[in-house]
Amino acid sequence: MESLAIALFLTGLAAAVAWKVYQLCRAPRDASLRSLTLCLVCIACSYLFAMPSGEPGFDHIASHNMAKLTQNLLLLATSYFLMCFYLHSVADGPVSRRRARREAAVMVAIMVVITVAAKAAPGEAIAVGFRAADMTNPPVAVFYLGAGLYMVYTLAAASGWTRRYARLSRRPHATGLWLAAGGLTGMAFACAIRAIFIIIRAFEGSVPDAVTSSVSLVLMFSILAFIVGVTYSSARSRLDAFLVWRRHRRVLSQLQPLWELLSEAFPEYVMEPSSPSWRDRWSARGVHRRYTRRWAECRDCLVRLSPYLLDHAPDGATLDGTPPDVLAARLREAAGAARRGLAVQTRAMPVAAPHHEHRDDDVQELVALSNALRETA
């Protein structure tokens, strides 16, 4: 169970870091986005030092306890950048910068304390990890307790801010904010429980391994919930954009029979007769432009063709309520007459008009007509 949780966490973390770095490259002056990106990068780097293969190698290059110290310094930086994210989001530039400097001073003070404690700890007293560390040794207890209490402070404050903005937001932003708030609350709770464990063990008490493992899982899943929350809104927007792109590409394919028939009859209505480039064929902008253009071309050509439909139809025939398969057959005859340049007397009128004045309804009428053309080819 724990290994699966670690795999899920690392996968989600890597995806979130990549996405935020990409966003930051597009908006490098966004202070709140920069803080959030640094927050996620620090989380990722801290877990590199926590990996079983990374910690011994770093300690061998540097000195004992350095991997654990670096990991905790990165976690403190994670908490600080998380607070800066909210500071830059809710306040103007000068105010947020002054508050960020004050919070940075607090973070540096805590970093100095745990660094001195790590240097004062004997041998590998800290490198053995939280579960095996001897908390009766004062430097060890100060090391873990100092970092833990600072994280409780920053995470609790961030959780309160997130819940407040979640109540003021609408979906999908509210959904992401509530997920992030739940993750922050879970992280603050887990850090507070670990601080209690440190105090109990410092007075020679004992904490069952099962309880410690459960708190570690709560912390890991809380971090994952926070990561999902801060990326949810952007990911949801991208998913919605992808679904629109896919629907437009499908409609382009469905309209092909109708468009080919009409463009042969009235080539002057085709805006771009040349084949689209690979980029234009697959890019979102190209697909949306071709979708709009094809819809407009089909509509214009149908209006231009409507006199031929009525002039060459049986006496008394109309276009209202004509089934798509019947209209498709008449459409082929009318297109042939238009290509031959036959004269018509009837005025233009709507063809396959939708019941509601909405583009999607209009497109569906054209798709139904185009599908009928494909089936009767």
Phi, psi of 351, deg, nearest 5: -125, 135
The reported pLDDT for the residue numbered 24 is 84
Which position has the higher pLDDT, 13 or 251? 251
Q: In which residue ranges of the chain is CATH 1.20.1070 found?
A: 2-232
Please check the confidence at residue 170 and state whether its pLDDT lies above 60.
Answer: yes
pLDDT tens digits for range 69-83 = 888 888 889 888 888
Query: What would the CATH number be for the domain defined by 2-232?
Result: 1.20.1070
Confidence of residue 112 (pLDDT cuts 50, 70, 90): very high
The reported pLDDT for the residue numbered 257 is 87
Confidence of residue 316 (pLDDT cuts 50, 70, 90): very low
Please check the confidence at residue 315 and state whether its pLDDT lies above 70.
Answer: no
Nearest to 207 by CA among 121, 130, 124: 130
| Distance (Å, whole) CA 228 – CA 19 | 12
The reported pLDDT for the residue numbered 65 is 65
Confidence of residue 124 (pLDDT cuts 50, 70, 90): confident
pLDDT tens digits for range 222-281 = 888 888 887 787 778 888 888 888 898 898 888 888 888 888 878 787 776 556 666 666
Which position has the higher pLDDT, 53 or 361? 361
The reported pLDDT for the residue numbered 20 is 80
